A and B are shown apart, each in its own frame.
Chain A
Amino acid sequence: EVQLVQSGAEVKKPGESLKISCKGSGYSFTSYWIGWVRQMPGKGLEWMGIIYPGDSDTRYSPSFQGQVTISADKSISTAYLQWSSLKASDTAMYYCARPAVPYCGGDCSLVYWGQGTLVTVSS
């Protein structure tokens, strides 16, 4: 059974750094892209970017380029989303998701989702 299990909720102060994780199991972690999706409180879904753990090829949404860092450690089947200096506006639920097919392009249907990690940034 394919599963994506995310790290727990975080409460941080503005300016602090943070790295949240998404551990994949039940499939070949290095063979499928993994994406990250933001959902701010009461708002819609926003695509942040995607990584191919096999070679760490990473593509960012233009809106998030330079704002976050996506990485992966294939030795422990885990993808990461990282901030170097959090802002209050980073308060949101963050989901990792995996497409149905190995390659995400043309058709990137996200069939497997993590449970979400709630990040709260407040002074």
Chain B
Amino acid sequence: QSVLTQPPSASGTPGQRVTISCSGSSSNIGSNTVNWYQQLPGTAPKLLIYSNNQRPSGVPDRFSGSKSGTSASLAISGLQSEDEADYYCAAWDDSLNGHVVFGGGTKLTVL
């Protein structure tokens, strides 16, 4: 059971807009920033969004993030076949020693 809650799957057709939600609590999303990672099959995760809504260099502006209270979401517009991947949200959790918590991941299928 992951600390952050994501839907296990999402899907869309090419060109559509898809959103993936991530729900947490006051000790993680509620008090710290949210990051999103994309993991293509057989590869290491890649940072997609940091500090709630910032894109690292090279990430297309089709990807956007937002946060409100103890929830966050990732939006992908103009869906492309190469976006088919697993997406994970993550945040720092202030409980105990402080540690990173991940969502369970959302498998995005491009139909």
On A, residues with C-beta under 8 Å from B are 35, 37, 44-47, 49-50, 59-62, 95, 97, 100, 104-111, 113-116
Contacts and interface: CB of A to CB of B under 8 A. Distances in A.
B98 A111 contact: no
Contacts of B39: 45
B52 to A, nearest CB: 9
Contact of A61 (B86, B99, B105): B99
A16 B101 CA distance: 29
Which of A46, A49, A107: most chain B CB closer than 10 A?
A107
Interface in B30-88: 32-33, 35, 37, 39, 44-47, 50-51, 56, 86, 88
B100 to A, nearest CB: 4
Nearest first, the 6 closest Cβ-Cβ pairs linking A and B are A109-B50, A44-B105, A47-B100, A113-B44, A109-B35, A107-B33
Chain A binding surface, main DSSP class: strand
Contact of A49 (B45, B90, B99): B99
Contacts of A95: 44-45
A93 B24 CA distance: 25
Interface residues of B, number: 27
B96 A44 contact: no
Contacts of B97: 59-60
Contact of A107 (B2, B32, B46): B32
Contacts, number: 76
B96 A108 contact: no
11 contacts: A37-B45, A44-B103, A44-B105, A45-B39, A59-B97, A59-B99, A107-B32, A109-B35, A109-B50, A110-B35, A113-B46
Contacts of A106: 32-33, 92
B47 to A, nearest CB: 5
Contacts of A107: 32-33, 35, 50-51, 92
A116 B45 CA distance: 10
B44 A114 contact: yes
A47 B45 contact: no
Contacts of B103: 44
B45 A45 contact: yes
Taking each of A37, A104, A109, which has the highest tally of chain B beta carbons within 10 Å of its own beta carbon? A109
